[in-house]
Amino acid sequence: MFNKTIRPEKVIQFGEGGFLRGFVDWILQIANEKTDFDGSVVVVQPIANGLCAKLEEQSCVYTHIMRGLKDGEPYVDKKLIDVISRTVEPYKDWNAYLKLAENPDFRFVVSNTTESGICFNNQDKPENAPEVTFPAKVTLLLKKRFELGHKGFVFLPCELIDKNGETLKQYILDYADLWNLGANFKAFVEKENIFCNTLVDRIVTGYPKDEKIDVGYQDNMLNTSELFHLWVIEGDNNFLNELPLDKTGLNIVFTDNLERYRTRKVRILNGAHTSMIPYAMLENIETVGDCMDNKTMCEFVKSCVYDEIIPTLDMPKDELLSYANDVFERFRNPFIKHLCVSISLNSVSKFKVRVLPSLLEYIKRTGKKPEYLLTSFAKLIKFYKTQTVNDDPAVCEFMKNASVEEILANIELWDTDLSFLTNDIMEKMN
């Protein structure tokens, strides 16, 4: 059915889920079309049960559909993805996995093994493979690579943890110590491999379970996402002569300071969500899209972002405004039904990370208290007095029964005493 292009295998990808197929593989497809990259991907299934068999059933070819608003109007883009050459399942054939080290053309390793995937377990042993962590599997692949005398890899992990590349590298070195792999191997890891920290931003909605999308053929691996995409890559970018991501025309940023982009995302995108969701839950508003259609709610969260969050960030104002404008267009995406109740999970810890820093920084910079972020804080406390919260039982119990002053003074919750805000919060709660 598909006239699949055969290309040299250059990328090892840990993960076959919707995100990587709707982000990295889509980007690599465009790199093949627009640059001289000419590479394909071998997908490694990082867990025992996954989607690799389903991918193989259709020659690892699938359709990716991007949907959202473009210039205020609904827009749909469709692309056939044939960049994956084959799959490897270590839990069925460990030797096939280690054999990947033998191909000198492999230069890039991408991964999305979830936030808990990049971890270290001091009980892991080489002989237990593949029943070991993702970093342990990579260590064993690198060990084989080292023994064969081949070049190292460029790692572009997509897990949503801080300093994902540096953390992966550290755990590999920790396994090298645990397993006594020697100083020469550690030097190979350090000097012959590049570990980039990255930040990814795209909502990938996966297979459309609740709707029928006709692409003209049977596609059991059909994938959907929003239009927006952003990949921020920090570190040595000398690899661009091998993988010219800078020539794709895509929203890919190369920087020596990823942290400011992470802060921008957490404070604006995530902060907007967390600022409005408790308020929306109290008003029985069902989805993020409904929030944007509600005049009061929309104006409230825009005031939070444009009037009180953006002034606390140290990036060019036009960049911040452009990103915020994109965020609100994403919130209005008619193809994504983002339920407020699902976003409301663990709202207290989210507020501490995503909103509280903006609130405190606003006070520090202006000497004034932010009206809208304080209202958001008041709505959070009021929301936790209801029966609809979903959080750690101890947090729920405390928030429900404690006074506003006791809540604000709880250093364990906020890492600081916020009782100086008591009167302001009380006023907003009435």
Residue 3 has pLDDT above 80, yes or no: no
Give the pLDDT of residue 275: 97
The mean-pLDDT minimum among 243-252, 305-314, 334-343 falls in 334-343
Share of the chain above pLDDT 70, in %: 100
Which domains are assigned to the chain?
9-255 (3.40.50.720), 259-429 (1.10.1040.10)
Task: State the Cα–Cα distance between residues 389 and 417, nearest whole angstrom.
Answer: 24
Give the pLDDT of residue 385: 97
- Helix, strand or coil for residue 341? helix
Q: Which positions ≥6 away from 7 have C-beta within 8 Å?
A: 32, 38, 39, 40, 83, 85
Task: State the Cα–Cα distance between residues 386 and 382, nearest whole angstrom.
Answer: 7
262-279 pLDDT per residue, tens: 999 999 999 999 999 999
Share of the chain above pLDDT 90, in %: 94
**pLDDT level of residue 216 (50, 70, 90 thresholds):** confident
Buried b (16+ CB within 10 A) or exposed e, 212-223: eeeeeeebebbb
Residue 1 has pLDDT above 60, yes or no: no
Give the pLDDT of residue 128: 95
DSSP per-residue string spanning 178-208: HTT--HHHHHHHHHH-EE-EEEEE--EEES-
39-90 pLDDT per residue, tens: 999 999 999 999 999 999 999 999 999 999 998 899 999 999 999 999 999 9
Q: What is the pTM of this model?
A: 0.91
Angle (CA) 302 271 254, round 5°: 105
Q: Decide the pairing of beta strands 9-14 and 73-81.
A: unpaired
Q: Which positions ≥6 away from 406 have C-beta within 8 Å?
A: none
Give the pLDDT of residue 200: 97
Give the pLDDT of residue 289: 96
Task: State the Cα–Cα distance between residues 238 and 179, nearest whole angstrom.
Answer: 31
**pLDDT level of residue 100 (50, 70, 90 thresholds):** very high
Give the pLDDT of residue 349: 95
378-421 pLDDT per residue, tens: 999 999 999 999 999 999 999 999 999 999 999 999 999 999 99
Give the pLDDT of residue 2: 63
- Containing 225, the helix (H) or strand (E) segment is strand 223-226
Give the pLDDT of residue 154: 98
25-36 pLDDT per residue, tens: 999 999 999 999
183-195: average pLDDT = 98
- Contact between 424 and 381 (Cβ < 8 Å): no
350-371 pLDDT per residue, tens: 999 999 999 999 999 999 999 9
Task: State the Cα–Cα distance between residues 20 and 27, nearest whole angstrom.
Answer: 10
Which pair of tokens denotes residue 155?
Answer: 């790692």
Average of per-residue pLDDT values in the chain: 96
- Contact between 245 and 252 (Cβ < 8 Å): yes
**pLDDT level of residue 114 (50, 70, 90 thresholds):** confident
DSSP assignment, residue 391?
S
Residue 305 has pLDDT above 90, yes or no: yes
